[in-house]
């Protein structure tokens, strides 16, 4: 069942598919906002073709929606609801990566980082509305490799990361 609205004497109809796609798009945008995935968020906002005042309005609405989700659901339940909405529709030539779908991309992410392929890393992160799971897999992979890293090398890496 679609949504029908009367505007200026003209009947405007929106199909169920269009409604589901709008909900999925909003869920992707909110997931990116909630998890600080700036690349995905900026890409999704750009898809709206919004000018600066509209972009500011979208950000404000995301903040309000995030507060509503945060107060209505436990953190894992809120994300689960949004992922369910997000996985209902495809946008362009890529479908929405959900928690279950992010696993294979963790392997691609590791390969891209090892190859210093910045474009691929950005693409993987940009296409992932919830980077928490993807980065969690990345950290798990690093933890599995960590025992094989010689102590002096690990110390040098940690010092480099700390800026020492």
Q: Give the pair of three-digit tokens for residue 141.
A: 């992979």
Nearest to 35 by CA among 62, 72, 68, 71: 62
Give the integer Cα–Cα distance in Å for 104 and 127.
Answer: 13
If you search the block for the tokens 């928490």, which residue do you land on? 132
Give the integer Cα–Cα distance in Å for 28 and 94.
Answer: 13
Q: Give the pair of three-digit tokens for residue 20.
A: 């589901």
pLDDT, one tens digit for every residue, the chain (164 residues): 455 555 555 556 788 888 888 888 888 888 888 887 787 888 888 888 888 888 899 999 999 998 998 899 887 788 888 877 777 655 544 445 555 566 667 888 889 999 999 999 888 887 776 677 777 788 888 888 888 999 999 999 899 989 87
Give the integer Cα–Cα distance in Å for 92 and 77.
Answer: 28
């Amino acid at each position: 069942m679609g949504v029908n609205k009367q505007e200026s004497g003209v009947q405007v109809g929106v199909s169920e598919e269009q409604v589901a796609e709008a909900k999925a798009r909003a869920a992707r945008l909110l997931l990116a906002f909630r998890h600080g995935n700036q690349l995905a968020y900026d890409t999704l906002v750009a898809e709206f073709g919004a000018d600066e005042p509209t972009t500011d309005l979208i950000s404000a609405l995301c903040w309000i929606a995030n507060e509503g989700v945060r107060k209505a659901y436990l953190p894992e339940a809120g994300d689960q609801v949004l992922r369910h909405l997000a996985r209902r529709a495809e946008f362009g030539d890529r479908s929405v990566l959900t928690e279950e779908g992010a696993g294979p991309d963790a392997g691609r992410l590791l390969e891209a980082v090892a190859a210093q392929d910045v474009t691929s890393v950005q693409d993987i992160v940009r296409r992932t509305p919830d980077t928490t799971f993807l980065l969690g897999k990345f950290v798990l992979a690093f933890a599995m490799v960590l025992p094989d890293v010689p102590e002096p090398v690990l110390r040098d890496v940690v010092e480099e990361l700390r800026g020492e």
